[in-house]
Amino acid sequence: MGVRSFNNSVSRRGPGFTLVELLIVVFIITLLIGLLAPALGRVRSIARDMACKSNLRQLGVAAANYTAASPNSEIPSFWWQPGVSKSNWTDVDFSMNRPGADALDAAQAQETDILRRRTGRGEGPTPKKIKLNSLRYPHRRFTHLVLLDQMDVPFPDPRAACPEDKQLLEWANDPMDLSTVPTVGDEDSTTESRVEIRQRWAYSSTYQAVPSSWSPDTRLGQALTVGPVERFYNLFTRIDSSLRLGGRRMDEVAFPGNKVFFFEFHDRHSSRRPVFYAYPRAKSNQLFFDTSVRAERTGDSNPGFDPNNPSGVAPAVVYDPAPGAADPPPLHNPLGDTLRGHYRWTRGGLRGVDYGGDEIDTGQNP
Boundaries of every domain in the chain? 39-351
pLDDT digits (tens, 9 = 90+) for 25-57: 888 888 777 777 676 667 788 899 999 999 999
- Residue 186 pLDDT: 55
The chain-wide mean pLDDT, for the chain, equals 90
Q: What gap in Å lies between CA 89 and CA 107, rounded to an integer?
A: 15
Residues of the chain short of pLDDT 70, as ranges, are: 1-17, 37, 39-41, 184-191, 366
Q: What gap in Å lies between CA 360 and CA 343, rounded to an integer?
A: 13
pTM: 0.87
Q: What gap in Å lies between CA 300 and CA 184, rounded to an integer?
A: 32
Q: What gap in Å lies between CA 39 and CA 17, rounded to an integer?
A: 31
Q: What gap in Å lies between CA 250 and CA 241, rounded to an integer?
A: 24
Q: Is the dihedral of CA 171, 176, 182, 184 positive or negative?
A: positive
- Residue 19 pLDDT: 76
Q: Which residue, 130, 127, 134, is CA-closest to 118?
A: 130
Q: What gap in Å lies between CA 276 and CA 264, rounded to an integer?
A: 9
Q: What gap in Å lies between CA 234 and CA 266, rounded to an integer?
A: 13
Number of helices (H), then strands (E), in the chain? 7, 10
- Residue 9 pLDDT: 47
End-to-end C-alpha distance for the chain, whole angstroms: 124
CA distances from 302 to 69, 159, 215, 296 (A): 32, 29, 20, 12
For 9, counting Cβ atoms within 10 Å of its Cβ (0-12 exposed, 13-18 middle, 19+ buried), the class is exposed
